[in-house]
Amino acid sequence: YVFQEVEGRTLSVQCPLFNLKAGGGCTDEKLKVTSADGQVKQFCGSTFPAVLSMSSGAVTIAHLYKATKKKKRKNVCAGEFLCIVYSSITDISKFMFKEMTKSNQVLDVSDDEIGVLYSDNSAAKLNANAYVKTATGLEKELIVSCPKIKFQKKGCKKEKLKMQNKNKKFNKSFCYSTNQSNEFPVRTWSTLKFSYSRKNKKKKECSGGFICLVARLRNEVPPVMTSLDTVPPDITVEPPEPRPFCENCGQSKTPNLKIVGGVETKVNEFPWMVYIKGIKQEQLPKYFQCGGTVIKTKWVLSAAHCFTSIQYEKVIAVFGEHNYKLNNESNSIEQEVECVYVHPKYKEYEKNNYNNDIALLELPTELIFNQYVQPICLGWPEDVKVEEKATIIGWGHTAHGGETSSKLLKTEVEIISNTRCKELYPMALLTHNILCAYTHYKDSCQGDSGGPLMVIRSGVWVQIGIVSFGDECAQFNSPGGYTKVPQYINWITKTTGSSQC
């Protein structure tokens, strides 16, 4: 099997099950791992490192097995292994592994996790069951994929895998080997039961075992693993929910044709962008700047850290702005912010804790939406996708410690997993309310705080993040941190007083 990744990213291998039990040591059976730069490592017996990392962008894994007929040899069956290969930007924590070895095992699978159930492939007798659980009392639609089922052709009395939900309306059994992907949706109330039975096999009989993956079926169907490929299942799903608050959000009237590493935007390309400046009380410099976004007629979304630990006389929000050094931009308007609402659980004095870095700015009068001032759509959890490119915009510094840009700039960064982010930025306290993005020499910087991290969904712009923190702007292996907007839809609704625009 050959696994490829973008050059420069580390590929890692973990094996929850590893037991190559053929006699003769590595001579008769081994797992050989070869990287693109020529590193070769081989493993046999039951010894495999907790994590094997290879620095190149490609890894070849070969299982070598010599089926000899020596009388002294105790094991005629090949050994067993289950390994997962993943890149440095993969969130490995979402995979929940469970070997079926006994009865009444439980596997809890949340919305973003994938449960992996598997058996060994020995010839020994076995009776085991496991319960895959979702949120109790809520009907969840699961998708089950069994890329490997390799049983002896002796019928259900010899070896069987059975699945059923609590009310037994779903009841499916496998008693044979199959090369089909075996993908199917299951609607279940809280629990899906897996039962596996195997009788003692004769001397030369071996079980190939099984592997099944279980995940919650979401609006965006997750890829399903097969023996060699990753393919989207052929399942019809309901359309996504309407966007919160404003119906005609995220629509730019300008066709899409400094942020560090960024380029200048077209004038009013992003009509929801807000230039925020605060006038300080007896402090130098006399003002601070941040970004924000229009989300309702009287509300602007920004970052909490822009408004804490600073004494200011007033905060000004400028709409329809492109170049803040030009005083003759006829499309820009200003309002003095009436009130700033910082999230109540934001801890401004706790170092490296960026949780709940979100704030709402209430305006004194309603905005009139036109081609220069528009609201942006806010994202749902399924809009956040690791490895996807997202857009950031702002008037911040164009280099770490450098000058700010008077013109609105934009650039693209890649969303990375929190696991990868923690590796690159170990001092940051990362929670499920935070997401990270990283691309070499492209980043948000000082002055961009409070601005949006955006993606396009169904032809409209959707905000999934708020510029929050970073180490040094756009440096190698230095990701940016963003407040995850979908986590705060309820708080925004409550604070603004309604779900209306």
Q: Is the pLDDT of residue 252 over 90?
A: no
Position 55 scores a pLDDT of 65
Contact 392, 411 (CB under 8 A): yes
Q: Which of 128-132, 254-258, 491-495 has the lowest mean pLDDT?
A: 254-258
* Mean pLDDT comparison of 22-36, 228-242, 285-299, highest-scoring range: 285-299
Contact 104, 86 (CB under 8 A): no
What is d(CA 320, CA 272) in angstroms, rounded to the nearest whole number? 8
Q: Is the pLDDT of residue 273 over 80?
A: yes
Let me know how many helices (H) and strands (E) the chain has, helices first: 2, 34
Active site residue 112: no
| CATH topology match: 1-90 vs 91-236 | yes
459 CB contacts (<8 Å, ≥6 apart)? none
Q: Which CATH superfamily is domain 263-495 in?
A: Trypsin-like serine proteases (2.40.10.10)
Q: Six-digit token pair at 214? A: 């279980």
Q: Six-digit token pair at 392? A: 């950031």
Catalytic one of 357, 383, 443, 448: 357
The predicted-structure confidence for 61-88, as pLDDT tens digits, reads as follows 888 877 655 445 555 677 788 888 887 6
Count the residues in the chain.
501
Half-sphere exposure of 456 (CA within 13 A, CB side): 9
Average pLDDT, integer, range 54-59: 70
Q: What is the CA radius of gyration of the chain?
A: 27
Determine the Cα angle at 386 with ends 37 and 1, to 5°: 40
Overall CATH class of domain 1-90 = mainly beta
How many Cβ atoms from other residues are within 10 Å of residue 335's Cβ? 18
Active site residue 397: no
What are the structural domain ranges in the chain? 1-90, 91-236, 263-495
* Mean pLDDT comparison of 45-49, 417-421, 433-437, highest-scoring range: 433-437
Q: How big, in percent rounded to 5, are the helix, strand and coil portions of the chain?
A: 5, 45, 50
What is d(CA 58, CA 8) in angstroms, rounded to the nearest whole number? 10
Catalytic one of 332, 417, 449, 468: 449
Residues 146-155 as b or e (16 or more Cβ within 10 Å = b): bbbbbbbeee
Position 155 scores a pLDDT of 66
Beta bridge partners of 320: none
The DSSP element (H or E) to which 287 belongs, if any, is strand 287-296
Structure-model confidence comparison of residues 355 and 192, the more confident one: 355
Average pLDDT, integer, range 234-247: 60
- Choosing among 3.50.40.10, 2.60.120.290, 2.40.100.10, 1.10.3720.10, the CATH entry for 91-236 is 2.60.120.290
pTM over 0.85? The answer is: no
* Mean pLDDT comparison of 6-15, 216-225, 311-320, highest-scoring range: 311-320
The DSSP element (H or E) to which 108 belongs, if any, is strand 105-108
Instruction: Supply φ then ψ for residue 191, to 5 degrees.
Output: -140, 135
Active site residue 449: yes
Q: Is the pLDDT of residue 37 over 80?
A: no
Catalytic one of 56, 119, 122, 305: 305
The predicted-structure confidence for 308-366, as pLDDT tens digits, reads as follows 867 778 899 999 887 766 666 667 899 999 999 999 999 877 777 889 999 999 999 99
